[in-house]
Amino acid sequence: MTLMSALKDRLRTDLTAAIKGREAIRSSTLRMVLSAITNAEVAGKEARELSDDDIVGVLSTEAKKRREAATAFDDGGRPEMAERERAEAAVIADYLPEPLTDAEIDTIVTEAIASTGAEGEGMRAMGKVMGVVQPQVKGRADGGAVAAEVRRQLAGS
């Protein structure tokens, strides 16, 4: 195995500190995140060490699960469970890169459309544009919001 990624090392160090500080939500959330990272490492045909980028992807997925669960609990009349999910999402957010603003997403999509020459192609160019945009926004923006912006700009061109 290679050297442990810096982000995974930070998560483990913070877990130890949370356990020592008796921070229940933080320690349980970090345990869950580290477990998800380990599951991702052993998924597939052979085990591998995840890079920091891969770990950010796992963290993004876990954060999205927490947001969706909080919404579901709110809709189901379980505010205490929704609050716990939001608290877990806040812990995970500490390890994610700064999210992109709508204006930044708009700019990235506009530049991607220009660089791929997709103006005027309409929805046929969706895959081409998303292929350029995705690496730039990974872990920093919701994929659905990015796809909606690409659709909006392609429909307008």
How far apart CA 62 and CA 15 sit, in angstroms, is 17
pLDDT tens for each residue of 65-105:
999 999 999 999 999 999 999 999 999 999 988 888 889 98
pTM here is 0.74
How far apart CA 18 and CA 156 sit, in angstroms, is 49
Instruction: Give the CA count within 13 Å in the CB-facing half-sphere of 112.
Output: 26
pLDDT tens for each residue of 58-71:
998 899 899 999 99
